[in-house]
Amino acid sequence: MNTPAPLQLKLPRCLLDPGLSGLPVDADGLVALAVEHRDGRITDLRPLPETDIPLPLALTPLVEPHAHLDKCFSWADFPNPGGTIAGALSQNLREAEQRHGELVLARGEAALERAWRHGLRAVRSHIDSGGAGARSSWDALLELRSRWAGRVELQLVALVPIGYWATPAGAELARWVAAAGGLLGGVLGPPYGHGRRDRQALARLLDLAEALGTGIDLHNDEADREPARGMRLLLNVLRQRRTSPPITCSHAASLGLLNRSQLAPLAEALAAAGIAVVALPLTNLWLLGRRTGQQPLLRPQAPIHSLQRAGVTVAVGGDNVQDPWYPGGDFDPLELLRLAPLTSHLWPAQRRDLAAFTTAPARLLALSWDGVLRRGAPADLVLTGAGNWSDLLARNPQRRVLRNGRWLPMPDGGPAAALLNASMG
């Protein structure tokens, strides 16, 4: 393959080889670079002299740590305009009654096609796994995982009520999921189980994951009340054990309701237990803190900065896409990044804030590439039509995605363009 002309772009310093010294970093934390690649690998990175020529802000491809491919794009048929959790659950159950493998495969295919063109390189998806149709959803998404290997890495998590793991059917599911290379998941409140029920179910889940050598990813404390009840229970159960499988807790929204003196020791305990957190601000803002007929006051979500300060690995994810749990979303990591200053006061010029979208989810998913550009790294980049972070927030930018040294086809504009074209005849 011929050597392509060097790319000229600006990349965040935190996504560049820390071994490169003396790089000029601008106020946005960006470094102007010439990037050379050959045969799908980066061959050279050179800082560019100061110039007035505008350069595109670039990132390495991003990672979606929390999605639901089995139900995505189902909002139109199963809407939940009231936006309550009860309404979402009831529509989810109705939708699941008619869900089948072919439908899940079609949804997953459409989802990964959009994810790939938007610049995602890995997606972790939870799958409703307690019902009669669960096996066909798994078969479909395992097929999807092999179809997309090398383009978008797909990780799969079994999602069931936590008590399911204490049943014989749960143990059988765990064995089957582990053999398929999946993770064990579940929902830990609300509602929380009475007495020792959740505690026993958690202990059983930990036993299964440890015996089978799988990781765990729980929906935990997706709530605007009973702050951190699930997280405290999990930590209590872990204190009774000498070892633990790798654990991720998704949502952790009610932790945001703790005051500083309650949160600091909890965050330290999570860091000490090696529990990672996936913050999901969009679904939390849509579903939580609702007050009938009034504007929301409580806007609970994972306290990202406090957790990071304590040493917890925190990634930000998109969660539901156009399903009963959230009407929007498009598997677009730049959308999530563009909204993050508003949803979570994350400012991507800050190393730690940007890490929640890039290197932290790569670590959380144990991906083979950390997402840092260095000589020998994959020639994978997302170039945006923005020149700096403010520009990125100002308007949804065009983008070009380079994967394995080749440009992906330009996005076709998607459903919005089709709609406009149709109206123009």
Q: State the nearest-atom distance from the C-beta of 68 to Zn ion, in Å.
A: 6
Q: State the nearest-atom distance from the C-beta of 331 to Zn ion, in Å.
A: 14
Dihedral sign for Cα atoms in the order 69, 180, 379, 353: positive
Half-sphere exposure of residue 130, counting CA atoms within 13 Å on the CB side?
Answer: 14
Question: Binding pattern to Zn ion, positions 310-339, x when CB under 5 A?
Answer: ---------x--------------------
Of 361, 72, 62, 369, the closest CA to residue 217 belongs to: 361
Cβ nearer to Zn ion, comparing 64 with 319: 319
Cβ nearer to Zn ion, comparing 319 with 353: 319
Strand bridging mode 276-279 / 41-47: unpaired
CA-based radius of gyration for the chain: 22
- Residue whose entry in the numeric block shows the structure tokens 């097929």: 143
Helix (H) or strand (E) segment spanning residue 212:
helix 197-212
Catalytic residue among 36, 64, 95, 222: 222
Q: State the nearest-atom distance from the C-beta of 250 to Zn ion, in Å.
A: 6
**Residue facing Zn ion at closest CB distance:** 319
Q: Is 380 helix (H, G, I), strand (E, B) or coil?
A: coil
Sequence-distant (≥ 6) Cβ neighbours of residue 77 within 8 angstroms: 95
Q: State the nearest-atom distance from the C-beta of 304 to Zn ion, in Å.
A: 17
Query: Are 92 and 287 contacting, i.e. CB atoms less than 8 angstroms apart?
Result: no
For residue 335, indicate whether it is catalytic. Answer: no
Cβ nearer to Zn ion, comparing 228 with 279: 279
- Residue 123 identity: V
Cβ nearer to Zn ion, comparing 153 with 319: 319
Q: State the nearest-atom distance from the C-beta of 282 to Zn ion, in Å.
A: 11
Q: In sequence order, what DSSP letters do the residues of 138-191 get, joined into one string?
A: HHHHHHHHHHTTTTSEEEEEEE-BGGGGGSHHHHHHHHHHHHTT-EEEEEE-SS
Residue 190, preceding peptide bond in cis (omega within 30° of 0): yes
Cβ nearer to Zn ion, comparing 282 with 402: 282
Q: State the nearest-atom distance from the C-beta of 187 to Zn ion, in Å.
A: 9
CA distance 329 to 189: 24
Cβ nearer to Zn ion, comparing 319 with 380: 319
CA distance 322 to 326: 6
Number of residues that bind Zn ion (CB under 5 A): 1
Footprint on this chain of Zn ion (rule: CB under 5 A):
319
- Which positions are annotated as active-site residues? 222
